[in-house]
Amino acid sequence: MTLPYFTSTFHLLSSPVIIAPHAPSSCSCVDTRDYANHQWLLSGGKDCAVALYDLKAAPPPPKSGDHTGRFLSRTQAREEELAQIEASKRRKPISLNTRNTGGHSHSLSAISFHPSDAGAFFSSDLSGRTLLWDTEHFTPVLESMKRGNVLTSSWVNDNAWMSSTLQGELVMFDAVSGTATMSLKGCKGPLNSFDCHPQHEHCVITGGTDGTVKLWDTRRSGTTKFIKAFSQDEIEETVLAPVDHRAHTSAGTAHRGSVNAVKFTPCGNFVVTLSGGSCATWDNRWARPRRLHEIGENCEKPYQRTKQTGSGRRVPMVLTGSTLSNVRVITPLQNLSKEIFSFYARPRPTENIVTMAGHLAPVLGFDISASNQMISAGEDGMILAWGYREGRGRKIKARDEDKDQW
Confidence class for position 237, pLDDT limits 50, 70, 90: very low
Residue 5, in any domain of the structure: no
- Residues 122-157 as b or e (16 or more Cβ within 10 Å = b): bbbbbbbbbbbbebeebebebebeebbbbbbbbbbe
**How does pLDDT run across 94-117, given as a tens digit for each residue?**
778 777 667 888 888 899 999 888
Number of domains in the chain: 1
Tell me how far apart the alpha carbons of residues 77 and 73 are, in angstroms, rounded to a whole number.
6
Establish if 151 belongs to a structural domain.
Answer: yes
Euclidean distance between CA atoms 358 and 368, whole angstroms:
17
The percentage of residues in the chain with a pLDDT greater than 90, rounded to a whole number, is 7
pLDDT (tens digit, 9 = 90+) per residue, 213-225?
999 888 877 666 7
pLDDT over threshold 60, residue 135: yes
CA distances from 311 to 164, 308, 343 (A): 51, 8, 48
> Measured between alpha carbons, how far is residue 208 from residues 159, 164, 213 in Å?
26, 10, 7
What is the tens place of the pLDDT at every residue in 155-205?
Answer: 998 899 999 988 888 899 998 888 888 888 867 788 888 999 988 888 999
**Assigned domain for 193 exists:** yes
Q: Which of 127-136, 369-378, 387-396 has the highest mean pLDDT?
A: 127-136
Q: CA 73 → CA 77, 86, 235, 310, distances in Å?
A: 6, 20, 57, 47
pLDDT of 296 > 80? The answer is no
Query: Is residue 1 assigned to a domain?
Result: no
CA distances from 307 to 297, 311, 315 (A): 18, 11, 6
Question: Phi and psi dihedrals of 75, rounded to 5?
Answer: -65, -45
Q: What is the pLDDT of residues 306-318, one digit of tens each?
A: 445 455 555 554 4
- Determine the average pLDDT of the residues in 387-402: 43
CATH label of the domain that carries residue 192: 2.130.10.10
Cα 203 to the center of its chain, rounded Å = 19
pLDDT value of position 111: 93
Is 128 in contact with 165 (CB distance < 8 Å)? yes
Give the Cα-Cα-Cα angle 286, 288, 252 (nearest 5 degrees): 155
For residue 20, what are the domain limits?
A: 11-403
The answer, yes or no, to whether residue 10 has pLDDT greater than 50, is no
Q: Could you tell me if residue 3 is inside a domain?
A: no
Within a domain: residue 4?
no
Average pLDDT, the chain: 70
- Banded pLDDT at 382 (limits 50, 70, 90): confident
Residue 17 lies in a domain: yes
Task: Reduce the DSSP state of residue 203 to 3 states and report it.
Answer: strand
Closest CA to 204 of 174, 232, 164, 242: 164
Residue 330 domain-assigned? yes
